[in-house]
Structure 1
Amino acid sequence: MSLETAGGRTLRVARWRLDKPSDHPPVLFFNGIGANIEAVSPLAEALSDRGFIMFDMPGVGGSPEPTVPYNPFTMSWTAAKILDKFGISEVDVMGVSWGGAMAQHFALQHSGRVRRVVLCATTAGMLMVPGNPAALTKMANPRRYIDPKFMNEHFQTLYGGAIDKARPKDAHIGRLTPPTPRGYFYQLLAMLGWTSVPGLPFLKQPTLIMMGGDDQIVVPINGKILASLIPNSTLVEIEDGGHLFLLTHEEQSIRTIREFLDSPEAEARAAA
């Protein structure tokens, strides 16, 4: 973990196993809105056979407050500069929710550096089918980051799915730290009017799309829209998974991601 300056921004960057030999390219991960590095550290640790790199967005986690707004283009460029700093030429790019939109944009903008793409609980941006209004209203409330009682009371509305196991829920809440108001607002502003729809037919990399069947925030039909637009894509729906199926269905999610990233069939389809 370190503070790194790239593209004129100082960001907190976390790396796992980049100094260890691996048969796989590292994973570049883009997080959900307002979420800090610690929220995803269990995923990075579970993918133990490859490197993993991610950073906190400006004003989120340990990254300093942003001074000027950004957009997917400038932040993808910044991400590429961070990869350059660590000598990484090729990655598998992955993103969840808001970060899934960033992963799409990065893969389109820097296609030569991306081998495969994993999109979790995400949409094509502005042209999306909206979720449950009650969940969206609570999702936008910053109390979910700073008030454990609020988060606990509304966890099922926010994230749906199988949450009967208290330990994963409590562990997730314990890893969250609140973004600054400006940091959160700039993340919302970055995707205002953005859509990947025109570019997705040109996304040639093998792409795994994972959706939660009980996701109240990003309803599953959005995954079908992505799959219809991305030529070499595979859609997997976690049957009773909510927006945080990576947490509540960790073993199934990790197994699905690893099988896809290691699958020679996906590469063969892309070549054809």
Structure 2
Amino acid sequence: MESSLCNVTVAGHAVRVAVRPGTGTGTPLLLCNGIGASLDLLQPFVDELDPAIEVVSFDVPGVGGSPDPLVPYNFALLTWFVGRLMGELGHDHFDVLGISWGGGLAQQVAFQNPRRCRRLVLVSTATGSLMVPARFDVLRKMVTPRRYRDPEYAVQVAAELYGGKLRDDPGRVKALMHDESRVGSKKGYLLQLLAGAGWSSLPALPFLRQRTLVLAGRDDPIIPLVNARIMTRLIPRARLHVYDDGHLGLVTSADELAPRIAAFLLAD
């Protein structure tokens, strides 16, 4: 079943949303994307995910098809916004999956919504400002959204930034990041960077109550694997799966990871 696109107004702000209806009656899954990425980037994963699961994805204000936010925000404020969004869509309870920057948002959603958020999936992500960082040359390339605006530059840096399967096939990044994806504003990207400045989930992880699946690539230059091991040790009900790919493994290895995630979400 294909996703339907719409604009939803939350607290006076329009946000671009995609909903893929599920054939089952279980808990819907909310997707939180990486920095600068529109919801289109994760479509290969959505296509591989069990059709029984309803999937809700959205463009963060200032990203993709969502206009710039009315005011700057942090993860706590954006979590409140996301909760209102899911309410507008009729969902009192939901699961949440976050990748990279979106993994920080997903953790905050779980912290602030212990009764609404049932299960948590964290992919290629870490604990914010208190983490084992990437190399400086990798971090330097993450400061600007150039890779989303310049397809040739994206190919040039794909192996160094994303690792995994994109080391052997860097040209694939064009299809992933440019064929369908929408590019947000430079202001939107900057506000995403600022939203996570100084934020860390590290002290709160032992208090997470949700069952959690942590997924990490063996070759992820942006989020070194050790971060996933730390998170799994600190979250009481977490388990770790390490896959043979890189930072974008959720889409480049969607055929492997989607069934594993579906099994976790659909299990009793």
For the aligned pair, the TM-score class normalised by the smaller chain equals: over 0.9
- Residue in 2 aligned with 1:268? none
2:248 corresponds, among 210, 228, 244, to 244
Is 1:144 aligned with 2:147?
yes
Report the counterpart of residue 115 of structure 1 in structure 2. 118
Matching residue's letter, 2:156: E
Distance 1:168 1:261 in 2: 29
- Residue 204 of structure 2 corresponds to which residue in structure 1? 199
Q: What letter corresponds to residue 14 of structure 1 in structure 2? A: A
2:257 is matched with 253
The 5 Å alignment of 1:1-272 reads: 1-17=5-21, 20-47=22-49, 48-163=51-166, 164-165=168-169, 168-173=172-177, 174-239=179-244, 241-264=245-268
User: Higher mean Cα deviation, 1-10 or 244-253?
Assistant: 1-10
Please give the alpha-carbon distance, in whole angstroms, between the structure 2 residues aligned to 1:28 and 1:190. 19
Which secondary structure state, in structure 2, belongs to the residue aligned with residue 138 of structure 1?
Answer: helix
Letter in 2 for 1:180: S
* CA deviation vs aligned residue, 1:157-209 (integer Å, no higher than 9, x gap): 11001223567433203233322111001000001111112221111111000
Contact 2:158/2:170 (CA < 8 Å) preserved in 1? Answer: no
For structure 2, the 5+ residue unaligned runs are: none
CA distance in 1, matches of 2:48, 2:147: 26
Is the Cα contact below 8 Å between 1:11 and 1:57 reproduced in 2?
yes
Letter in 1 for 2:191: Y
Partner Cα distance (2:163, 2:135) in 1:
11
Q: Structure 1 CA distance, aligned partners of 2:218 and 2:160?
A: 14
Kindly indicate whether the alpha-carbon contact (under 8 Å) linking 1:66 and 1:182 is maintained by their aligned counterparts in 2.
no
Q: Distance in 1 between matches of 2:159 and 2:37?
A: 18
* Partners of 2:206 and 2:236 within 8 A in 1: yes
Number of the residue aligned with 1:269: none
Deviation at 1:85, TM superposition (A): 1.0
State how far apart, in whole Å, the 1-side matches of 2:24 and 2:233 are.
33
Once the two structures are superposed, what CA deviation does each residue of 1:3-36 show, in whole Å capped at 9, x if it has no partner?
211133221111110xx55142110111000100
Contact 1:146-1:177 within 8 A present in 2 as well: no
Any idea what SS the aligned residue of 1:199 has?
helix
Change (3 A) 1:167 1:51: farther
Corresponding residue SS for 2:91 = coil
CA 1:120–1:185: 2 relative to 1, 3 Å:
same
Name the count of aligned residue pairs. 261
Distance in structure 1 (CA, Å) of the matches to 2:164 and 2:64: 26
| Distance in 1 of aligned mates of 2:130 and 2:180 | 32
Q: Partner amino acid for 2:57?
A: M
The aligned amino acid for 1:94 is: L
* Cα deviation, residue 46, structure 1: 2.1
Q: Do 1:7 and 1:77's aligned partners in 2 also have CA atoms closer than 8 Å?
A: no
Tell me the distance in 2 between the aligned counterparts of 1:167 and 1:23: 39
Q: 1:156 to 1:166 in 2, by over 3 A?
A: closer
Q: Mean Cα displacement is larger for which, 216-225 or 35-44? A: 35-44
